[in-house]
Structure formats: C-alpha cells, structure tokens
Structure 1
Amino acid sequence: MIQKKELTFEDSLIDYLQNLGGEKQWKYEKEIKTTDGLWENFKKILEINNADVLNEPLSDSEFSQVKNEINKLDTPYDAGKFLYGLNGVSQVEVNLDDGRHVYLTVFDQDQIGAGNTVYQIVNQIERPAKITGKQDRRFDTTLLINGLPIIQIEEKADGHDAREALNQMHQYIAEQQYTDIFSTVQILVSITPHDVRYMANTTSDLFNTDFAFRWQQEEDNKPVLDWKVFANQFLAIPMAHQMATNYMILDGTKNHQMIKVMRPYQVYATRRVIDKIRMHDFQMGPQELGYVWHTTGSGKTITSFKTAWLAQRLPKVDKVIFLVDRVALTNQTVDEYNAYDPDSDGKDGVIMDTANIGILSRRLREKKSGIIVTSTQKMDRLVSGKENFKYDKNVV
C-alpha cells in the first residue's frame, strides 16, 4: 500500500514538472528504464549538440572514450569539476576513427535554460548491485541535463519523514550506486507531499543530514513544505540548472574536497546583488548599490565568494575588489577563495592577491578581469598616496 502511494506521488511530481512555465520544459522519457538506456540517450544528445564537428554518429570505440571520462569521476567533486570544465564549458576529448582529434561539448554554462540544452525526466531506473551481496536498486526520479543525471529525487508517501529518503540515498552512496553515468549527480532531493529537503551529493563518509536544507520563501524566510511550491521555486527551469551550477561551490580545500550547495538565503542574496550589478549604469559614477548581511556562522565566505565570482563574469564588469578590514585576513581570504575558484588549480585562477600596494596598483591596471583581494589599509595608502588618483574601469 505504501509503495503504491509513493508511486502515485512520483507520477504526480513528474506530471507537474512537465507543465511548469518557462522557455524550456522538462520532458518525461518514460521508455528509459536502464543504465544502458541512459547512456544511449546521452550519446544521442551529445551527437546532436556537436553535429558541427561530427560527420556521423559516434562509433562504439569513440563513445567508449566519452564513457571512460565519466566513469573515472570518483567523487561528486570530480564530477563538479568535469561539469564546469574550463571557463564554464565542459568538453570531452575524443580521437575519432577517421583520425581527427576533437573536443565534444557536454555543457555550456552560458546556455542555462537556453540554446540547445536538453532537460529530461526519467524514473524507476534499474540499478544492478555494484557490491556482491547487496541488492539491486531502483531509483525514483532523476532529472537529466543534456542526458546526464544531475538531480536525484527520492519520494516518500505522506506520513513519512523526508529524512528517510536522505538515509536511503546515503545507503545508495555506500553501495556505490552513484557511479558510472550516475557519478554526475550533484544534488539530492528528498520529498514528501508536505516536506522537502535538498543537499549536495557527497561521499559516504562525509554524508551529514545537517547539511540537508529546506527551501525558504524569499520574502519572509518561512520554510517551503509543500512539494508543488518547491517544484515551482527550485525544480523549474532555469532555476534547477542554476542551483546545480551557479549556486554550487566546488570546494577544493586540500584533503577535504567536496561540493556544497548554497542555502536559500545565500542564493537570494547573491541573486539580488548580481541583478543590481547587471542593471547598473557605470557611467553614472560611484554608487552604493547595497550590502549583504549574514550572521556569524551562516556562510558569509561562500556568499561573498559566489557573489564576487559571478560578478566578475558579467560582461560590463572589469574588476571586482574584495576589501577585508584587517591585513591579517587577506591571506586567509585568498586561500579560501582559491579553494572555491573552479578556474584555479591553486594558482592562475581569477583570484588575485596583493602583497603590497605596488602589486595592488598593477593588479588594478591589468586588463585581466578577476577578483582582487586586498585590505582597506592598502587601498587607502594607494589612493591617498597619489594625488588625483584616477581609475576609469568598471569596478564592483
């Protein structure tokens, strides 16, 4: 009886997702029920989106190179790095049978909710046991972007705690079920008719339901408990795609690599700032557009980094300057930001340090965009030490 209720709820969710507003819609692929079917679906989308470099469908040997790249993704962090790619474009390198060496685009973050991005729903995917002695599994609902599983949803019938579904997904992780094509899953969602929680995918040893969040209303921070409201606000396109990309953190801290999904108030704060900057006319001169207020322990570093990082990607922004109020905080902030920067391998990313005011001056005048981290003391010495200090770039 419980199983029947859960399947009915699952069907309702799938029907609802297909009818959410927007330029792009989720499409239910009811024929796909196996891992092989997922691979074949991904292959077709990859071929269509790269028709300009492919003369014909990928052969088995050619596609095996693509599969190998995905199968090598051992952790959600590895998957996040793969999905981000280089400057937001994820590609796989393939040696074609005709001798050509090509790069096939898997994701392009400039095409979130637009372009040739494909959004699909599959459900009840059969997953044979990966570990001897463990049972076969069947996943509830999976949201695919360009053919790859990105958001995994497990439903529970009314009367059940949403955390039951989270514990179920923890078990799947321990059983190595989020491997092969499912290694790309970024967000886990547990949902009942009257409660929803979401969290970043993780490894079994780091799994912690304390980092499973409820979505909140922007106007009053009240938790969203109704599944339809959550679907409208979180799972609609482009928001679902943005949550899995723009509002994810790839934390590359040495020996502690993981992905982190932002809390609702962090998302709202970041989005408000970016919208303000996007609409700002820099020809009007210096203006105070606003500020973000977070309490202690609420994730200020993540919000400030993501806001600065997204701002420096805007076409009309030349530089983003992050000022800290103590010189001692500069190195700490640079280290944290470098760990979060998806373009960084510990160096050569978008984060720029300033050991002295000479380097600060040079950073400001360089054509390279990015985030300059410096102290209020250094900036004050630079500006006050030069009469008529002029700077004509668009700075946030």
Structure 2
Amino acid sequence: MRVVDLIEKKREKEELAKEEIHFLLSEYLKGNVPDYQMSAFLMAVYFNDMTKAELLEFTTLMRDSGEIIKFEKINKFLVDKHSTGGVGDKVTVVLAPILAALGLASTKLSGKGLGHTGGTIDKFEAIKGFKFSSSKEEVEKIASKTGIGLMGYSDKIVPLDKKLYSLRDVTATVPSIPLIASSIMSKKLAIQSDVIILDVKVGDGAFMKNIERARELAKRMIEIGIGFKRKVRAVLSNMDEPLGYSVGNAIEIIEAIETLKGNGAKDVKEVVYTIAAVALKAKGVIKELKDGYRKIDEVINSGLALSKLKEFIAESGGDENLVNDYSILPVAKEKLEIFSQNNGYVAKIKAEEIGKAAMIIGAGRATKYDKIDHSVGIKIFKKVGDKVEKGEKLAEIYYNDEKNLKNSKEMLLDAYVLQNEKVSGQKVVIEIID
C-alpha cells in the first residue's frame, strides 16, 4: 500500500476503505508518512469531503490514538458540553454549576483560547491558586464532590488530533467540515459522558460564518455520535455580536458569577438555559424545554448554583470568597472609555473585531506561545438594537500596557455599525438539532 495512491484516490473523489485509512493514519502517527504527503491528503479532503463511512473510521482512529477515559466513580448523569468558540463565551463557567445544582455533572476537556476566541481554562486561571485537574483521578474526585469535572487537554488524549491540527493550521485546511467534525468528536468520544451537547456558534465572531455551514457541521458531528451509539445534541447560537457584555478573563468570571446571582445578560442566560434544559431532556427529567427553565430558575434563585461554583473553586485551589469580593481577581491598572462618534441604533457589532481588540491588549493569544494577561479586557455597554447618542459611552478598555491601545480603540469603534432606523435585537439560540 502506498500513500501516494491514497492521496490520488481522494483527489479523484473515490472512497477510501477502512484498511487504507488505518494505514495512512497509523503510519503518520509513527512518523513514517511525511508532512508533505499528509498535507496533500488534507487538501484533497478539504476539496472533496469525506463519506459517512470514511468520517466514522477517521474519527475512530483519531480517538483510539490515545487514552480513553471512563469515570467509574461518578454516579451522576454526565454532560459534556462543547463550544466551537466565540467572543465573550463564558457559558461553561455558568452552565457547569447549574448542571451540578440540578443533580447532573459536567465531565469535559476544556481548552485555552487562541486568536479572537476565548478559552475556559484561561478564564478559570484568572483565579489565583486555581489548578485544573490534570488526571482522571482528580476529575473523579472533584466531580463526585461538586458535580463539576473539568480538565485541560492532555497529550495522552487523541495525540493524533494535535499532530494533524498543527499541520492543518499551516496548510489552510482548518475550515474543512469533516476535519473539524472528526477533531471535535474524537476528543468528545474519548471522554465518558451520557450526552454530548455541541454549542455551534454562528456568525461574525465564530469559525462558522453562516447558518448553512454551522448546520452542516452540527449534522456531521451528530452523525458521528450515532455511529458510536452516543447521545449527541446540537444548539446553534448566534455569534454576530459578543456574548454578554464582557470580553476578557477575570471580567468574564465576574459576569458569569453575576449570572449565577440572577443578574446575567439576556443572551448569556438564553444560551445557558437552553443547553441546561437540553441536558435535562436528554436525561428524561423533562419533556418540554420550558419545564427545564423553571427548574433552572429555582437553583439560581435559591443560591444553590452559586454555591456549587464556590465549592468547585475551593476544591480546585482557588479562593471561594471571590464570588462576593471581586477585588480578589486580578484588576487592570488603567481604563480607557470609548464614546460614540455618531447618533443612531446599533445595527451590528463585529464580534471578531471586538475579540481581536481584546486579544491585542493581552486578553488573548495571537499564537499558542503568547502569554495571557488575565486582568485586561473590554466591557461593552451597547448591544444590537440599542439606541446610541453621540458622545455616549460604548465601551471601556481595561489595560496595563499602552502598546496596542490605539489600535484596540480603533478596532472597537469600527466594530460598532450604527444606522438611523431602529433595529430589533438578535435571536440568540437559532436552532436545536437532535
């Protein structure tokens, strides 16, 4: 069997057999297939897609390239929520304590942010002393006690994905839907859960820029889940403007805590409540999502969800008192207020520009080697549909270094698109697919 023949088959839109995919991936993982040949194969996939059978086999081999984690000691319904990435996406920070308060448990790998999108690890690491679980045993211990089991990605879990993603990143093949689907699902399938809920972001601040591609990605991932006999649900949510009002790390933790106190932004609440209700429905606790919303209100209003977050922070080495004393979190030294230069109604907020404006002042990473400044970020005060007067405050930039401050301000102003006619606010949850 020759690799060049497999590349040629995929180039000519022919279906590869299981044995051929196994040969290609196993030999690449061993280092026997050079990057230039795998790059050619990935580009052929980019242009010619994969069949259902190819994608299932490809994902299986990805998953099986490393450890598969099972949680024998957690006696709860396990929920693995994954977001495809967005700006201001603090959903996991809010969702995990709510699920725990509802008697469920989160068991998931969490990632670091890259580019204009934020990562859950970075947000929690804004808490002094906080350490993510680094082993199955640590996750089991904390999840059994708190209902929240989050751990960082390990080189031992799906190592083939890490190797392939590095290659995709430099060969312009990252946007390939089958390659995205196999990358995400191989990691989801390597971790035990009772339901996988995919929060597929759609719009300017997401990797999926339009609904058609987002829907296609969701369906391909659900298809993979069916092949593994796993419950998978997908929620398509809007990322044409930042989620909530804060973009950063420490300031997103604060916004998440306020949401658990019942003071959250409407759009954050809508996404979180929908995902939590979908989880309850998957377990069979409710028949209609609206019944779940009532249960979620109960654990918010009683303070139980907030107490679960406090418990998780304490068990992870952080100071639980921060839920009532935000000064415990890192605070930027300087603040720049941004004022509108025109009158009008907010017609659009370019979420990607907001994300990049936060990234260049240190809230995110341009490369995986960049260091995060957890204290900096951007707070916006106007959302789509809001009326704005000239000279009214649009946003605040929290910073420590003036190096990229001017560019950040210009990007932020450019992100706001105003018009004379009143516009309605955006629908946040677009569609639920199961």
TM-score between both structures, scaled by the size of structure 2: 0.26
TM-score between both structures, scaled by the size of structure 1: 0.28
Between structures 1 and 2, the one with greater helix share: 2
